[in-house]
Amino acid sequence: MPVWDDVIPANERPVFDSAGMGVTRVGFGRKPALVIVDMSYAFVDSAFPLGDSRVGWPAVAAIQRLQAAAREAGMPIFYSTAVWKASRIETGLWKRTPEVHRALQDPKAYEIVAELAPRTGEPVVLKNVPSAFFGTDLLRMLVMHGVDTVILTGMSTSGCVYATGVDAFSNGFRTVIPEEAVADRSGIAHKVSLFNFHMKYGDVVPLDEVLAYVRRAMSHDNSTVSPVGR
């Protein structure tokens, strides 16, 4: 049962069904990459005003499984995080109070959690806006690796993950979100965002299905590649 079943009204389902949304899949491609968005203490840990340990740490555990499989398979892995900026011009028009802005001065805030720490050769892009593509080298690096499928994980589902996912779609990548490997402070925002993404841009699927694909795809068995379903 999809995670959004309890929040999408039954009377709205026909609107999507009649448009063919969510009926077919984009499918997996031949060359995947794992993208881990903003799994820093600022978002994972409730010690910070933007963090939520209740959902953050379970997402860390799920991503750890994918990260281990990706490393074993030799799959490219990319991370994003942010850096604190004192200037409002540099920071952008985030809707944050001065108190929250000051709390995010802590250098630990944007440090990727130790459980998911990048290894040498696993690039980390720095950003100040929601999408990990905007103003970074992520697109160039994905192209250089010949990637056609982005496996998207991280926080938050309704914010930086969603923005990164739409940009991945807009740049022509098949985009897959493992349901258990993303999280949001708001349960409703999490579910609605996954529903909308699955209806329009990519595939939201169980983590175990993605793990099986990673092992299959990186074994160079191209007969398992899914066709474009749109």
Asked if 175 is an active-site residue, the reply is no
Domain hosting residue 175, numbered range: 27-219
Catalytic residue among 160, 181, 210, 214: 160
Q: Is the pLDDT of residue 214 over 90?
A: yes
The answer to whether residue 11 is domain-embedded is no
- Within 13 A of 106's CA, how many CA atoms are on the CB side? 15
Long-range CB pairs of 67-70 (<8 Å, 24+ gap) are 67/34, 67/36, 67/116, 69/211, 69/214, 69/215, 70/34, 70/151, 70/214
Better-predicted residue by pLDDT, 94 or 26:
26
The pLDDT, as a whole number, for residue 220 is 62
The answer to whether residue 1 is domain-embedded is no
| Model confidence pLDDT, tens digit, residues 100-155 | 877 788 889 999 999 999 999 999 999 999 999 999 999 999 999 999 999 999 99
The answer to whether residue 3 is domain-embedded is no
How far apart CA 19 and CA 9 sit, in angstroms, is 17
The answer to whether residue 57 is domain-embedded is yes
Q: pLDDT-based confidence at 227, cuts 50/70/90?
A: very low
The answer to whether residue 19 is domain-embedded is no
The answer to whether residue 73 is domain-embedded is yes
Q: pLDDT-based confidence at 222, cuts 50/70/90?
A: very low
Q: Is the pLDDT of residue 226 over 60?
A: no
| Model confidence pLDDT, tens digit, residues 170-198 | 999 999 999 999 999 999 999 999 999 99
> Could you give the number of structural domains in the chain?
1
* pLDDT averaged over every residue in the chain: 91
Written as six digits, the tokens of 112 are 């990727």
Count of helix runs (H) and strand runs (E) in the chain: 9, 7
How far apart CA 110 and CA 40 sit, in angstroms, is 5
The answer to whether residue 125 is domain-embedded is yes
158-183: burial string, b at 16+ Cβ within 10 Å, e else: bbbbbbbbbbbbeeebbbbbbbbbbb
| CATH value at residue 142 | 3.40.50.850
The answer to whether residue 224 is domain-embedded is no
